[in-house]
Amino acid sequence: MAIAQSPVYDEVYRFLVQSPTPEEIIAFRASTATQERVRHLLEINREGHLTPEEQAELDEFESVNHFVSMLKAYAQQQLANKK
């Protein structure tokens, strides 16, 4: 099985293999470098100048962001159920 080798997936994988607590999952943020790259791609996208490779990278960021958002929602639900 091939593992995605992109920086954004690698960042999330490294975080998850540490077995974070629900609180740590909720607090998780992408690195500054990743956030800057996304901002850059979004700016290029607004200008209508994304290359196919950049579009694929932006799509990947969106997929990972959706997964992390769902993971955070699940972690919040788990914390709420403990109360």
Q: Looking at residue 69, what is its pLDDT?
A: 97
- Whole-structure pTM value: 0.86
Give the pLDDT of residue 62: 95
Q: Concatenated DSSP letters for the chain? A: ------HHHHHHHHHHTT---HHHHHH----HHHHHHHHHHHHHHHHT---HHHHHHHHHHHHHHHHHHHHHHHHHHHHHHH-
The ranges assigned to domains in the chain are 31-83
Residue in 4, 64, 54 with CA at minimum distance from that of residue 28: 64
pLDDT at 79: 94
pLDDT, tens only, 29-81: 999 999 999 999 999 999 999 999 999 999 999 999 999 999 999 999 999 99
Q: What is the pLDDT at residue 4?
A: 60
Q: How far apart are CA 21 and CA 79, in angstroms?
A: 10
